[in-house]
Amino acid sequence: MKRAEQRMEDTWDLSDLYRDLETWEAAFAEVKVLAKNFKAYSGRLYEAPETLYEAIQAKERAERMLSNVITYARLKHDEDTKNATYQSLTSRVEALGSEYGEMTAFYAPELMAGDFVKIESFMDRYPPLAAYRFYFESLFRSKPHIRSEEIEHLLAQTEEMASGASNAYGMLLNADMTYEDAVDSEGNAHPITNGSYIPLMMNEDRELRKDAFTKYYANYEAHINTFAALLQTEVKKNIFYAKARGFKSAREAALFDNHIPVTVPDALIEAVHGKLDSFYDYMKLRKEVLGYDALHLYDIYNPIVESVDFKVTYEEAQKMTLGALKPLGEAYGEVVENAYQTRWIDVYENEGKRSGAYSWGTYDSRPYILLNHKDNLDSMFTLIHEMGHSMHSYLTHQTQPFVYGHYSIFLAEVASTTNEALLNDYLMKTIDNEGRKKYIVNHYLEQFRGTIFRQTMFAEFERDIHATVEAGGALTAEYLCSHYLELNRKYFGPDVVIDEAIQYEWARIPHFYYDFYVYQYATGFSAAIALSDRILNDGETAVNAYLDFLKSGASDSPIPILRRAGADMETEVPVQEALNRFAEVVKTFDKLVKNS
């Protein structure tokens, strides 16, 4: 389907940002003016507390408008990545962001050149500045990693160039890659796209799954050297910026802003290694229930509960997700219902549309959701997942000032996955059909597989490839493929045939361009298990604590924000509890399918 053929009600309404390209162009021009005017504060930040406050306000005005301009361009581009007009917009906003960075490069070094004692005296003398206390504390924490104005200016000039690998990867993946149709056991052709691949892997027709798997990864194999060059460039970029700012490693640099020690993702990896036996048990059970002599990697997505018709239309998904979110209160539900009715969401796939799903907006706009909805259970979980992100953003924006009107990536996956846990509980309580209940338990196990085990494998791969380059090695296609293949063998265990084609899978994972993001899916899922249990079992007190978490934004470090909500990620408890829960559910499912 072409973009123009989509029903308007199934597309997002971006008028919160700009009603048309003309108003966007005016804002684009104004950002340059605001950035230029901000340069007037250079050398004056410690002139007086009032001057510092004015400078911060001016910077915020420019950043808010820049965020709106960039977000509109990116959302329009993602509607149709083949559209030349929107390709041009994204190129222009990248240049604008670089230009803005150059014009404001003096700010952090000049502020850092002073003493925090002086800032404290300013806050005492001028109360409006006191609202920025945590902001100042966090900024001065970064002082050892802020460079001179000249170097900051130079680093700002590199930003547009630094996005080159990620942009090229996105165009190759979403706009240029095409696939031969997969053929099912009856000879019917099925188009393969990035959006249709996983639904094809969930199909009950094993011949279709095998053919789709083979043809999909054959295309990645044909481009694998290009993908390797892009990923190596991205990794070298991360290492360059880490060294430029005096960090010991790219990973330390990536985790610094969130106050997360590198021991957290390392502990996650070690904890999962310690529980791989329970994952092997699940793979063995899958093999037995399916009745296969050999379980292949194209057999790990399809439901292992036979003959269950579980089609979920988008309209049905809306109703069920609203029911699942009732424990969070009437006000929360009203906002979600309004989101469904007022076009926060771009629902269906069209030619050139970006694959996957996300929630993205600005402080001044609604938090938009991009979907590529299929009428299945997985898409309903994707909907409620992304709505968790959007509600986190919405409540943060409603509660916090602009300076704290975002949240760390460490917290980002908690809200989304808590929503998924609530949906799982709702479905188990409201569905009477035993076959569908088994299907839901299977889906729950698949959430663990995809969110804890799979994302931890990705985190280990990401850690290893950065360490390889930091030690002087090269990310050749041969190394990337062989190492990824070995990780699959480690994680899937003895009862899964590790098909050689899976060695190319790393090339289809866009999150490897997100700079150490993936481990947070696993930590977020673990925290969500703890928080959803509290919401369902402890009532109003737990709900209020959770809603306070959603409203906290960046007003504190993520670890204490999450601890107040009921999950202490500085301990091993949430991750171990989640892994223990998985082991219990595997045993329960084993009994369920064998006794039916």
Active site residues: 386
Instruction: Please name which of 66, 63, 85, 64 lies closest in space to residue 76, comparing C-alpha atoms.
Output: 85
Work out whether the CA dihedral 287, 288, 289, 293 comes out positive or negative.
positive
> Cα separations (Å) of 383 from 94, 98, 336, 522?
29, 34, 11, 19
Phi/psi for 38 (5° steps) reads -65, -30
> 49 to each of 55, 123, 495, 509, how far by Cα in Å?
10, 7, 66, 47
- Calculate Rg over the CA atoms of the chain: 24
Burial of 315 (0-12, 13-18, 19+ CB in 10 A): exposed
- CB 230 within 8 Å of CB 219: no
Alpha carbon distance 376, 135 (integer Å)? 43
Q: Would you give the end-to-end CA distance of the chain in angstroms? A: 42
- Distance in angstroms (rounded) separating the CA atoms of residues 389 and 75: 16
| Coil/strand/helix, residue 295 | strand
CA distances from 73 to 28, 91, 159, 166 (A): 10, 9, 17, 16
CA distance 213 to 221: 12
User: β-strands 368-370, 182-183: how paired?
Assistant: unpaired
Q: Residue 145 and residue 245: Cα distance in Å, rounded?
A: 5
* Number of C-beta neighbours around residue 145 at 10 A: 16
Which CA distances in Å does 322 have to 297, 327, 336, 542, 581?
A: 34, 10, 7, 19, 26
Return all residues near 5 (Cβ < 8 A) that are at least 6 apart.
Answer: 350
Q: For the residues of 311-374, what is the DSSP string, one character each?
A: ---HHHHHHHHHHHTGGG-HHHHHHHHHHHHTT-EE-S--TTPPSS-EEE--TTS--EEE----
Would you say 24 and 68 are in contact if contact means Cβ atoms under 8 Å apart? no
For residues 144 and 248, the answer to whether their CB atoms sit within 8 Å is no
**CB within 8 Å of 547: residues ≥ 6 apart:** 328, 329, 332, 395
Phi and psi, residue 573, nearest 5°? -60, -55
